[in-house]
Amino acid sequence: MNSPAQPRCIRPRYIRIDARDNVAVVVNQGCLQAGSVFPCGLVLTEPIPEAHKVALADLAEGAAVLRYGVVIGYAKQAIARGSRVHEGLMTAPTAPLLADCPLATAVPGPLPKLDGYTFDGYRNSDGSVGTKNILAISTTVQCVAATVDYAVRRIKAEILPHYPNVDDVVAIAHHYGCGVAIDAPGAAIPIRTLRNLSLNPNFGGEMLLVSLGCEKLQPARMIPDGTFPVFADELSVAVLQDAEQGFGEMVANIMAQAEKKLKRLNERRRVSCSAADLVVGLQCGGSDAFSGVTANPAVGWAADLLVRAGATVMFSEVTEVRDAAHLLTARSATPEIANDFIREMAWYDAYLESGGADRQANPTPGNKKGGLANVVEKAMGSVAKAGSTALMGVVAPGERVTQKGLVFAATPASDFICGTLQLAAAMNMHIFTTGRGTPYGLSVVPVIKVATNSGLAGRWHDLIDVDAGRIATADATVEEVGWEIFRLILEVASGRKKTWADHWGLHNEFVLFNPGPVT
Ligand code: CA
């Protein structure tokens, strides 16, 4: 720790990730002034804010700018040693060609197994495990959302108090279901997302679906008979247009069906489950240049621990891994998995192109203010979340994950869409890293928020669950914070500890990914 006589800000520090890097990230809080001298003798030629990059060597015009040991850009002009390297001084490299990606050529060997780690969860008849005990009321169409919302308010006030083992009642409201080209190829994604969302392990297989009656997405299309015979033994459907006695009857019908489900959910008890029953979704939002230095590597360490314990770890966000495609295909356990990954990248390339955009549309003004020059730099930091193990599976948006180990679940990077799709993929715990800060949360699973820098963790002491900024200030190692996250996951999954998002009830809406046309 620093004494008050030696404030941290007067000892310039930077973090260089890879020995090949010719830029590093300034880690002092606030801003270092011109003339600041680093322990290695490097002198700043201009002020550089926290999390922004400094040139470690003189870079000629056209020279490759290296971070994470990879090219994140090319110098548009000569850049002097000790000066700031930002977006305006670099051209971004092109994305790796999918046709040239190596298939399963650098598959990491298995890490030693980690036995004996458990959590207390709700075991379901299909073998999946819940970390919360929630009654979900699914909907086929937006038309019913306000009515379901009204019914949920009354269920919570009048019925839920009689069933103390149930944590919450959640309406799965959305904007899909009618006014859409329901047979277009893109429609498959929102439809299967809604189907799999209602089968999230935290809902205990108790399915209540509210339909209007005349909508395009009919209940039988959303949940076809026999799709999930093991898990969902009884699907209850309330059709609003069947009500003869008006709104009161509609609401009474929903409430009566909800009470039957609540009775059964109330019988659920937490039992000791192996850490292998966790399905942990990883995501980042509001990234900065620290993301790839502190929070994401620490989450990556936790991801490796989870994989060693036999769990499923999901990473997502296509535009944030696109520039690391060649590394992830090489890391894939088999050529088939690598080809599945390439298929998802190619689909998304075409999707973006049809909208006149490419992956460069990903970084936000806040990302850039936070020191990230472009999507390549953001991607290399983002992929650190995935740890170091072999890629064991790939699923398309909205599909359910059944594979253990590290899995890529293809989703957009949008926080809410990614979260919703990871819930559909059967996620029961969510880890979210942030540098700029966002009070994001989900109703269905606990969201552990990890700050990339201690400034944010300090300001938002009642929103951030883990401060990974201690890695930048040398107060903790990646390994230590990784273990802290792993242990916190087990505590939170057991219901023994609450995340800040759950403490305040910060639950963002479900947002569907609909690449299909609306009518
Ligand atoms: Ca995101």
User: What one-character DSSP code corresponds to residue 468?
Assistant: G
Expressed in angstroms and rounded, the spacing between residue 388 Cα and the centre of ligand 1 is 21
| Phi, psi angle pair for 476, to nearest 5° | -155, 160
242 vs 368, residue with greater confidence: 242
Rounded to whole angstroms, how far apart are CA atoms 298 and 352? 31
Check pLDDT > 90 for residue 512: yes
| CA-to-CA dists, residue 59 to 41, 72, 77, 78, 276, angstroms | 18, 14, 8, 6, 48
For residue 454, what pLDDT is reported? 94
The number of helices, as runs of H, and strands, as runs of E, in the chain is 14, 23
CA 282–ligand 1 middle distance (angstroms): 9
| Mean pLDDT score of the chain | 93
CA of 415 from ligand 1 middle (Å) equals: 4
Q: Stretch 6-26: mean pLDDT, rounded?
A: 82
The Å distance, Cα 83 to ligand 1 centre, comes to 31
C-alpha separations of 56 from 32, 302, 505 in Å = 15, 31, 45
pLDDT at position 368, please? 86
In this predicted structure, what is the pLDDT of residue 226?
Answer: 72
How many A from CA of 419 to the centre of ligand 1?
A: 8
What separation in Å is there between the alpha carbon of 410 and the centre of ligand 1? 12
Q: Which DSSP string do the residues of 114-152 spell out, in sequence order?
A: --S-EEEEEE-TTS-EESS-EEEEEESSGGGHHHHHHHH
DSSP code, position 482: H
Which residue type is seen at 266? Answer: N
| Confidence label for 228 from pLDDT (cuts 50, 70 and 90) | low
Question: What pLDDT score does 362 carry?
Answer: 81
In the prediction, which pLDDT does 418 show? 98
Question: What does the pLDDT read at residue 7?
Answer: 44
Confidence label for 201 from pLDDT (cuts 50, 70 and 90) = very high
What pLDDT, on the 0 to 100 scale, is given for residue 11? 87
The mean pLDDT of 115-123, rounded to a whole number, is 97
Question: Does 29 score more than 90 pLDDT?
Answer: no
Beta pairing partners, 64: 74
SS3 511: coil
CB 426 within 8 A of CB 401: yes
Q: What's the CA gap between 148 and 255, in Å, rounded?
A: 10
Tell whether the model's pLDDT for residue 229 goes beyond 70.
no
Structure-block tokens of residue 222: 């959303």
| Mean pLDDT along residues 478-486 | 98
How many angstroms does the Cα of residue 342 sit away from the middle of ligand 1?
21
Rounded mean pLDDT of 194-206? 94
- Non-local CB neighbours of 329 within 8 Å, separated by 6+ positions: 101, 102, 103, 104, 338, 341, 342
pLDDT band for position 4 (50/70/90)?
very low
Query: Does 227 score more than 90 pLDDT?
Result: no
Classify residue 107 by its DSSP letter: P
Q: Is the pLDDT of residue 233 over 70?
A: no
Confidence tier at 312 by pLDDT (50, 70, 90): very high
Segment holding 273, helix H or strand E? strand 271-274
Q: What is the mean pLDDT of residues 28-43?
A: 93
Higher pLDDT, 361 or 348: 348
The 3-state DSSP class for residue 425 equals: coil
Measured in angstroms, how far is the CA atom of residue 382 from the centroid of ligand 1? Answer: 10
Per residue in 413-442, is it b (16+ CB within 10 Å) or e — as a string? Answer: bbbbbbbbbbbbbbbbbbbbbbbbbbebbb
CA distances from 346 to 51, 341, 391, 515 (A): 32, 9, 18, 15
Instruction: For residue range 262-307, list pLDDT tens digits in order.
Output: 999 999 999 999 999 999 999 999 888 889 999 999 999 999 999 9
- How many Å lie between the centroid of ligand 1 and the Cα of residue 412? 8
3-state secondary structure of 419: helix
Instruction: Work out the average pLDDT over 399-427.
Output: 97
pTM (predicted TM-score): 0.93
pLDDT value at 309 more than 90: yes
Reported as half-sphere exposure (CB side, CA atoms, 13 A), residue 309 has a value of: 26
Q: Does 242 have pLDDT greater than 70?
A: yes
Task: State both tokens at 58.
Answer: 């003189």
- In this model, does residue 175 exceed pLDDT 90? yes
Rounded Cα gap, residues 235 and 232, in angstroms: 7
Strands 429-434 and 447-451: what pairing? parallel
Residue with tokens 């890529």: 408
Contact 311, 428 (CB under 8 A): no
- 10 pLDDT more than 70: no
Query: What pLDDT, on a 0 to 100 scale, did the predictor assign at position 234?
Result: 66
Average pLDDT over residues 41-57: 95
Chain-centroid distance of CA 273 in Å reads 23
pLDDT for residue 398: 97
CA distance 130 to 445: 9
Distance 326 CA to ligand 1 centre (A): 21
In whole angstroms, give the CA distance from residue 441 to residue 448: 9
HSE-up (13 A, CA, CB side) for residue 369: 8
Q: Crossing angle for the helix pair 188-197 and 415-424, nearest 10 degrees?
A: 60
